[in-house]
Amino acid sequence: MNSSPLPRPAPGPGTVRRRISTAVLGVLALVAACLGAVAGAAPATAAGLTQVTSFGSNPGSLAMYEYAPAGLPAGAPVVVALHGCGQSASDYFSHSGWQKYADLWGFALVLPQTSASNNALSCFSWFDPAKDSRGKGEAASVVSMVSHAVTQYGSDGDRVYVTGLSAGGGMTADLLADYPDIFAGGSVDSGLPAQCATSQAAASTCQYGSLNLTPAQLGDKVRASDPGYAGPWPRVAIWQGASDTTVQPVNATELRDQWTNVWGIGQTASSTQSLPGGTTLSVYDDPSGAPAVQLYQIAGMGHGLAVDPGSGAEQCGTAGSYYLDTICSSYYTARFWGLDGSTPPGGGGGGALPAPTGLAVSGTTGSSVSLSWTAVSGAASYRVFRGGMQVGSPTSSSYTDTGLAAGTAYSYTVAAVDSSGTAGPASTAVGATTTGSGGGGSGQCFTASNYSQVAAGRAHQSGGYTYADGSGQNMGLWNVFTTHTLKETGPDYYVIADGGC
C-alpha cells in the first residue's frame, strides 16, 4: 500500500445491541507482540490528547490516545478515529476537527496509533486477515481500547462509533464488519469496502480498480466477518473525492453497494442534495425511512479528509497534507450519528413527530435564503436550524432566513414541534448559497498559472493537483503551464471564472 492515508466506514445503531463486556474481550486472540505498556497516562504532543499506556489486551501492538472534554457526563458517546498512512494520532486529532465537536456536543475520543514496526509506512493493516479480523490483531486492540474508554468514562456502550482516513478508513470498514455488535455507526473517508483485500499485494487492486463484484457478493464479505450475526447493522457514511487517484472513486460506489445490500435496501438513492464544497450527498433510507447509508461525493477533491477551516458551526479542522479544504466531514458525520443531540437515525423519536421531508431552497438573494418543506401532520410549529443553530420557529412549512452575507454557503435543517413543545428529529440537511460577492470578498479576478495561484494563497495543491481555496474546484495539474482565472466571491473563497469575470 502506498504512503497516502486511506479511510473507511463504520457500523451504526439498531433496535437491539450487545453491550461491550469483558466476555467480548476475552475472545481476542494474541496475534502480534504487545507493546511494553506501563500503567498510567502520559501526555501526547497535541494539547489535551493523553496516551493510555495500559488498556487491556493488545494483540495488534497499537498505542492508545484519548481525549474527553471537561465535565463529560455519564452515558456520553465514544468516537474512535483512525489516522492514515504516515500519520499519527496527534496529527489526526489536530487536523480532523473532531475535538471541536467533542467539546461542543459532549463525547469522548479514542485515537489508536500504529507504527513502523507494524507496517513500514505506519498504515493500519486493513488488508491482513491476521490483523483485521474479529478477535485478531489490530482489530482486537481497538476493541480493547473501546472497552477501556466505556468503563473509564461511564459511556453509553450502545453509542460507540468509528471513523478513519485512508488506511484508517479501510480498517474502519473492517471493524464495522467484524464488530457490528460494538459499533453503532461508522464513517469511511477516502476508503475501501470491508474485507476488500486479503494480502498487501492485493491491496493495490482495491485502491486502483474495481473488484467487479455484485452488491450481494460485497455484502457477503460483511456477513462472513461475524458469521451468525443478523443485525442490527451499523449506519455508514462514505466520503470520497471525485479526483482521488490514490483510492479510485469506484471504491465509494462499492462501499455504497456493500452496505446497502447488508441493510437489505436498494442502490437507488432515496434523496440527493447539494452541500458546500462541491459536495453531493446521496441518502439511502432503511425501511422505516431513516438514513442507513450516506454517500458524500466531492467534486475536484483528491485523496484525503475533507475539512473546512473556520469558526462557523459547520466549519472545522485545519488544512494540510491529506487534510483538504472543502467541507467539514466531521460535522456532517457527527450529525448523521446524532451526536449533536438530535435523535440518531433509527433511534426512535420518543413519541415525537417524525423528521420533516422535502426540505428545499425556494429562493435566495444576497442576504436571504427561503426554505420550504412538506408539512408534518400534528406539528404545532417548526424549528429551523442554520449550521446546527436555531434561527427560526415558524408555524407554517416555510421560512425565510435574513441578514446573511452575500456569496456565502449555508446549511439548513428543520424539525417538527408538537403541541407539548417536544421537537422531533431534524430533517436531512440542505445547502444554499446567497447571491452576489461574499462579504469581505473583493469580487476581483486573478489570472495566473496554477503554480502562481498557489504561491499567492488563492489555491492549494495536493497530490500534484491544484484546488481553488474555498470552493475546492479542481484546477488541474500544479505547474507553471496550466493557467486559470479565479474570482474571489467571499473571504478566502475563490471560484474558477475562465469564462469571464
User: Tell me: the pLDDT tens digits for 245-276?
Assistant: 999 999 999 999 999 999 999 999 988 999 99
Higher-confidence residue of 158 and 15: namely: 158
What φ, ψ does residue 170 adopt, rounded to 5°? -60, -45
Nearest to 119 by CA among 148, 67, 144, 83: 83
Could you tell me the CA-to-CA distances from 242 to 52, 195, 248, 250, 300 in Å, in that order?
37, 23, 8, 9, 6
Please report the pLDDT score of residue 391 as a whole number. Answer: 81
CATH 3.40.50.300 assigned to 22-336: no
Please tell me the predicted confidence (pLDDT) of residue 30. 22
CA distance 297 to 292: 17
Residues 423/415, Cβ–Cβ less than 8 Å = yes
**Residue from 66, 80, 76 nearest 104 by CA:** 76
pLDDT at 161: 98
For the chain, the C-alpha Rg in angstroms (whole number) is: 22
Dihedrals phi, psi of 361, to nearest 5 degrees: -90, 120
Q: How far apart are CA 384 and CA 402, in angstroms?
A: 13
The tens digit of pLDDT for each residue in 45-55 reads 445 899 999 99
Judged against a pLDDT cut of 70, whether residue 205 lies above it is answered with: yes
Nearest Cα to Cα of residue 3 among 166, 164, 121: 121
What is each CA distance from 367 to 346, 392, 402, 403, 491, in whole angstroms? Answer: 36, 16, 6, 5, 16
Taking only the tens place, the pLDDT of each residue in 484-493 is 888 887 767 7
Tell me the percentage of the chain whose pLDDT exceeds 70: 84
Tell me, what's the pLDDT at 440?
47
**Buried b vs exposed e over 330-353: b needs ≥16 C-beta within 10 Å?**
bbbbbbbbbbbebbbbbbebeebb
Whether residue 166 is predicted with pLDDT greater than 80 in this model: the reply is yes
SS3 450: helix
For the whole prediction, is pTM greater than 0.85?
Answer: no
> So what's the pLDDT on residue 405?
78
Query: How many H-runs (helices) and E-runs (strands) does the chain carry?
Result: 11, 26
Query: What pLDDT was estimated at residue 12?
Result: 33
- CA gap 2, 85 in Å, rounded: 8
Q: Of the candidates 213, 211, 136, which has an alpha carbon nearest to the alpha carbon of residue 174?
A: 136
State pLDDT tens for residues 117-152: 999 999 999 999 999 999 999 999 999 999 999 999
Q: Using one digit for the tens of pLDDT, what is the confidence trace for 104-117?
A: 999 999 999 999 99
What is the grid cell recorded at 402?
435574513
Sort 422 into a burial class: Cβ within 10 Å, 0-12 / 13-18 / 19+: middle
Q: How far apart are CA 67 and CA 56, in angstroms?
A: 18
Q: Name the DSSP letter for residue 233.
A: P
Query: pLDDT at position 19, please?
Result: 36
Q: Catalytic: which of 61, 94, 122, 166?
A: 166
Least confident of 42-46, 311-315, 458-462: 42-46
Confidence check: pLDDT of 2 > 70: no
Nearest-angstrom CA–CA distance, 181 and 158 = 9
Phi-psi region of 48 (alpha: psi -120 to 50; beta: other; left: phi over 0): left
pLDDT in tens, 314-348: 999 999 999 999 999 999 999 999 998 765 665 44
| CA–CA dist 362, 379 (Å, integer) | 21
pLDDT of residue 342: 66
Residue 96 bears catalytic tag = no
pLDDT given at position 449: 84
Mean predicted confidence (pLDDT) in 352-370: 87
- Whether the per-residue pLDDT at 23 is higher than 50: the answer is no
pLDDT of residue 169: 97
Q: For 74-78, 85-89, 284-288, which range has the lowest pLDDT when averaged over its residues?
A: 284-288
Return d(Cα 178, Cα 133) in angstroms, integer: 6
pLDDT attached to residue 353: 77
The Cα-based distances of 167 to 33, 82, 98, 181, 293 in angstroms read: 21, 8, 18, 22, 20
What's the confidence (pLDDT) of residue 31? Answer: 25
Q: Which residue has the higher pLDDT, 174 or 494?
A: 174
Of the two residues 364 and 44, the one the predictor is more confident about is 364
Q: What was the pLDDT predicted at 446? A: 85
| 389 — pLDDT class (breaks 50, 70, 90) | low
Lowest mean pLDDT among 19-28, 87-96, 354-363: 19-28
Residue 33 reports pLDDT greater than 50: no
The edge-to-edge listing of strands for the beta sheet with 360-364 is 360-364, 369-372, 398-401
Class of domain 360-433: mainly beta
Q: Can you give the residue ranges of every domain in the chain?
A: 22-336, 360-433, 445-496
Judging by beta carbons within 10 Å of its beta carbon (0-12, 13-18, 19+), is residue 193 exposed, middle or buried? buried
Percent of the chain with pLDDT over 90: 56
- The residue assigned the cell 479565479 is 486
